[in-house]
Chains A and B, each alone.
Chain A
Amino acid sequence: MENPKSEILHVPTMAEMAAEGKQPEILFWVGCAGSFDERAQKITRDICKILNHVGISFAVLGTEESCTGDPAKRAGNEFLFQMQAMANIQVLDAYEIKKIVTGCPHCFNTIKNEYPGLGGNYEVIHHSQLIQQLIDEGKLKAEGGESFKGKKITYHDPCYLGRGNNVYEAPRKALEILDADLVEMKRCKSNGLCCGAGGAQMFKEPEKGNKDINVERMTDILESKATVVAAACPFCMTMLRDGVKHENKEQEIQVLDIAEITARANGL
């Protein structure tokens, strides 16, 4: 089905902007998953649509962006992490970047907390925080699109947004304007259960055990009886979708990113 509003996305790169002598308000740090993972690419495009919708001038680094080094660091490869970090800081500083919004809690955590020690100082927010700010400022509502009224929605806290950085309310705020039936899982907020992907687990087989972590998380999701699981991290997205598939609940349960839900509610 063709969405009538979906024209070719307007996504300027920093290089283009610099060539025109312009500086965007904010840099959108897309991240590796957001750039290459097919499912996450949709979220990336929705974040751009939201930015365009509210008229924030933004740009991406495009081919000049490189992995933040997060998976290398969590896996113990500090050399590789610092190589990546210093190269990225050089690029960011060359463009005199001040403010960054990320599409991934891992990029968010790494740039916000670990780059300053290596000389990279920026104001960094996660896209759920940007959405919250836009809602608070009255620039973003939930109108003109899909209605989530009365739908049972639950939110899965990504570790690096929640426990890692104490961001619990922003993504919930984005859901509260939907007039939906919001339910919390048994394990939520600081008690939230990991999806199983963090700490570089995304890139390896799990160790021997009696079940996979995303399958364990499914018990909380099923118990909540939610039909929409809101996510805020591309890795959680993959793990939760695999969990839903494992339980054969693809018809009943949708996993959607906060940005996708916001874009849909606004018909973007």
Chain B
Amino acid sequence: MIAQILFIIILAAAVYLFSKNVVKIRRNILLGRPADRSDHPALRWKTMAKIALGQTKMIKRPLAAVMHFFIYVGFIIINLEVLEIMIDGIFGSHRIFSKPLGGLYGLLIGGFEILALLVLTACVVFLARRNIAHLKRFNGTEMTKWPKSDANYILIIEILLMTAFLTMNAADHKLQLLNFGHYIKAGSFPVSSIISPLLPDSTGGLELIERGCWWFHIIGILAFLNYLPYSKHFHILLAFPNTYYSNLHAKGEFTNMASVTGEVKAMLDPSFVPETTGEPQRFGAKDVTDLTWKNLMEAYTCTECGRCTSVCPANITGKLLSPRKIMMDTRDRITEVGNNIDKHGKDYSDDKTLLDNYITREELWACTTCNACVDACPVNINPLEIITEMRRYVVMEESQAPASLNNMFGNVENNGAPWKYSPADRLNWAKES
């Protein structure tokens, strides 16, 4: 009875804390500017099913794709087992699904065990890739101490959870064979039966191990749940809405700024009266709140895998730009803005901005807008849009484009071409053969 009450208290606290953090992240995302992504719902569901659920964009790197698939499927399916653990915890039952499911139960538990082993293997391989093989993709300037530790913590926690799950089953299985107490014969144990010989033979010891692992496993899962909002691992949730709200246009298409259209129309036609929509907005983005909510959602979705940076032509050739850093900086800054609101109220300004305090101009001007980063992202994040918005601020609000680009602007404006040629000579090519 005490165990049940304790379990319910821990569960309620974990769910409460997690919801509180999710609400806060949602609030932070909605600090962004509006963007309409409500069109084509059928196509959006399809995109989400293909890219988030089906993980189709992972295939480009086959080894990582297979290993990641093990962890992903393991996570989803083992959650069925967690459901049973929750019910057992609340009602003080043991393996409550075993009776109603009959023979299927054995099959399920056996399947969970095999998945648990695959998850364990994949986590070990991933740890080795990061810490022994030192893959270039997991390094780079933005991969400082915290992002590296974050990745390792996630993998280690998953290894511990799976080990606890398998050890729990091994002890349970042994107790079942001894016909001890409430340990009814249920389930099949293809993996844990291998480790059960390592466990003691005394029923007291076995029960201690079984209960210990049960509590460690479930408290571990609840703690991990609360680690998510602070970690890149949050992608397991946000990947779904993020792909649902994907950009459905051609990648080459950049948004046309409606605020500029009004002004340009007024310049070309003095009788045109642009629609005024309240407060005049800043052109482009100086800080995270100038970006759209979708940009901010993408920042929280990023799992720092570095596929974007590894294909970025600027980064490959040693320039400062790293699309992954753009996303991480955006996330760190919006988190900071959110924390400031919590501490000092809505109107507080810390005199910091995404531009200059986080992202330098040198990074922005190194981009070739080639869309390689956008194409590479397994969850459809678009770092290019943030870069473009920041260029827009630098050019239109500050007039601080590099001098050579200002020359190009001047040529386009005066000659109708980015070079200094006379528009009258535009057809000269036709005169030669």
Do residues A62 and B426 form an inter-chain contact, with CB atoms below 8 A? yes
Check A267 for interface membership: any CB of B closer than 8 A: no
| Residues of chain A with a CB closer than 8 A to B418's CB | 32, 67, 71, 202-203
User: For residues 19 through 73 of chain A, which have their beta carbon under 8 Å from a beta carbon of chain B?
Assistant: 30, 32, 34-36, 41, 44-45, 48, 60, 62-63, 65-67, 69, 71-73
Check A155 for interface membership: any CB of B closer than 8 A: no
Do residues B250 and A164 form an inter-chain contact, with CB atoms below 8 A? yes
Do residues B370 and A163 form an inter-chain contact, with CB atoms below 8 A? yes
Check B371 for interface membership: any CB of A closer than 8 A: yes
- Which of the 9-residue segments B67-75, B215-223, B289-297, B315-323 touches chain A? B315-323
CA distance A72 to B251 in the complex (A): 18
Q: Given that A11-B430, A62-B426 are known contacts, is A80 also in contact with B412, CB under 8 Å in the complex?
A: yes
- Which of the 9-residue segments A2-10, A178-186, A223-231 touches chain B? A2-10
Q: Select which of B249, B254, B268 is within 8 A of A74 by beta carbon.
A: B254
B72 to chain A, nearest CB (A): 23
Q: Select which of B267, B405, B421 is within 8 A of A36 by beta carbon.
A: B421
Do residues B317 and A165 form an inter-chain contact, with CB atoms below 8 A? no
CB 8 Å contact bits of A98-118 with B (1 = contact, 0 = none) = 000000000001001110011
| Residues of chain A with a CB closer than 8 A to B60's CB | 191
CA distance A82 to B368 in the complex (A): 21
Q: B413 — nearest CB in chain A belongs to which residue?
A: A80
| Residues of chain B with a CB closer than 8 A to A197's CB | 368
User: For residues 154 through 208 of chain A, which have their beta carbon under 8 Å from a beta carbon of chain B?
Assistant: 159-160, 163-166, 190-194, 196-208
Do residues A32 and B417 form an inter-chain contact, with CB atoms below 8 A? yes
Do residues A200 and B405 form an inter-chain contact, with CB atoms below 8 A? yes
Q: Select which of A76, A165, A166 is within 8 A of B401 by beta carbon.
A: A76
CA distance A73 to B394 in the complex (A): 13
CB 8 Å contact bits of B402-433 with A (1 = contact, 0 = none) = 10110111001100111101011111111111
B411 to chain A, nearest CB (A): 8
Check A250 for interface membership: any CB of B closer than 8 A: no
Do residues A207 and B396 form an inter-chain contact, with CB atoms below 8 A? no
Do residues B433 and A72 form an inter-chain contact, with CB atoms below 8 A? no
| Residues of chain A with a CB closer than 8 A to B392's CB | 76, 78
B407 to chain A, nearest CB (A): 8
CA distance A78 to B263 in the complex (A): 11
Check A150 for interface membership: any CB of B closer than 8 A: no
Do residues B362 and A208 form an inter-chain contact, with CB atoms below 8 A? yes
Q: Select which of A63, A74, A194 is within 8 A of B372 by beta carbon.
A: A194
CA distance A205 to B407 in the complex (A): 13
Check A210 for interface membership: any CB of B closer than 8 A: yes
CA distance A199 to B368 in the complex (A): 4
Check B96 for interface membership: any CB of A closer than 8 A: no
CA distance A175 to B253 in the complex (A): 27
CA distance A205 to B394 in the complex (A): 18
Q: Given that A83-B267, A199-B367, A213-B314 are known contacts, is A163 also in contact with B251, CB under 8 Å in the complex?
A: yes
Do residues B254 and A198 form an inter-chain contact, with CB atoms below 8 A? no
| Residues of chain A with a CB closer than 8 A to B267's CB | 83
Q: Given that A76-B391, A159-B368 are known contacts, is A114 also in contact with B256, CB under 8 Å in the complex?
A: yes
Check B311 for interface membership: any CB of A closer than 8 A: yes
Q: A79 — nearest CB in chain B belongs to which residue?
A: B260
CA distance A87 to B372 in the complex (A): 32
| Residues of chain A with a CB closer than 8 A to B369's CB | 74, 159, 198-199
Do residues A60 and B427 form an inter-chain contact, with CB atoms below 8 A? yes
Do residues A190 and B433 form an inter-chain contact, with CB atoms below 8 A? no
CA distance A192 to B253 in the complex (A): 18
CB 8 Å contact bits of B230-267 with A (1 = contact, 0 = none) = 00000000000000000001111110110011011101
Q: Given that A207-B362, A216-B317 are known contacts, is A75 also in contact with B391, CB under 8 Å in the complex?
A: yes
CB 8 Å contact bits of A114-130 with B (1 = contact, 0 = none) = 10011000000000000
Do residues B253 and A213 form an inter-chain contact, with CB atoms below 8 A? no
| Residues of chain B with a CB closer than 8 A to A149's CB | none
Interface centre among A34, A41, A163, A216, by most B CB within 10 Å? Answer: A163
Q: B363 — nearest CB in chain A belongs to which residue?
A: A207
Do residues B424 and A63 form an inter-chain contact, with CB atoms below 8 A? yes
CB 8 Å contact bits of B380-403 with A (1 = contact, 0 = none) = 000000001011111110000110
Q: B392 — nearest CB in chain A belongs to which residue?
A: A76
Q: Select which of B370, B424, B427 is within 8 A of A194 by beta carbon.
A: B370
B325 to chain A, nearest CB (A): 14
CA distance A165 to B409 in the complex (A): 26
CA distance A74 to B385 in the complex (A): 11
Do residues B375 and A190 form an inter-chain contact, with CB atoms below 8 A? yes
Q: Select which of A80, A84, A118, A206 is within 8 A of B256 by beta carbon.
A: A118
Do residues B409 and A72 form an inter-chain contact, with CB atoms below 8 A? yes
CA distance A79 to B66 in the complex (A): 47
CA distance A165 to B317 in the complex (A): 25
Check B313 for interface membership: any CB of A closer than 8 A: yes
| Residues of chain A with a CB closer than 8 A to B430's CB | 9, 11, 45, 48, 60
Q: A75 — nearest CB in chain B belongs to which residue?
A: B405
CB 8 Å contact bits of B161-190 with A (1 = contact, 0 = none) = 000000000000000000000000000000
Q: A109 — nearest CB in chain B belongs to which residue?
A: B252
CA distance A228 to B368 in the complex (A): 25
| Residues of chain A with a CB closer than 8 A to B261's CB | 82, 118
Q: Given that A75-B395, A164-B371, A199-B368 are known contacts, is A213 also in contact with B313, CB under 8 Å in the complex?
A: yes
Do residues A71 and B408 form an inter-chain contact, with CB atoms below 8 A? yes
Do residues B395 and A35 form an inter-chain contact, with CB atoms below 8 A? no
Do residues A211 and B318 form an inter-chain contact, with CB atoms below 8 A? yes
Do residues A165 and B368 form an inter-chain contact, with CB atoms below 8 A? no
B residues at A contact (CB < 8 Å): 60, 249-254, 256-257, 260-261, 263-265, 267-268, 283-284, 311, 313-314, 316-321, 362, 365-372, 374-375, 388, 390-396, 401-402, 404-405, 407-409, 412-413, 416-419, 421, 423-433
Give 8 A-B pairs besides A78-B257, A83-B264, A205-B404 with Cβ atoms closer than 8 angstroms: A35-B421, A63-B424, A76-B391, A76-B396, A82-B260, A163-B372, A164-B252, A213-B316
User: Which 5 A-B pairs rank lowest in CB-CB distance, beginning with the nearest?
Assistant: A164-B252, A76-B391, A210-B318, A199-B369, A66-B416
Question: 5 A-B pairs, CB-CB below 8 angstroms?
Answer: A30-B426, A32-B416, A78-B260, A87-B268, A164-B252
A residues at B contact (CB < 8 Å): 3, 6-9, 11, 13, 30, 32, 34-36, 41, 44-45, 48, 60, 62-63, 65-67, 69, 71-80, 82-84, 86-87, 109, 112-114, 117-118, 159-160, 163-166, 190-194, 196-213, 215-216
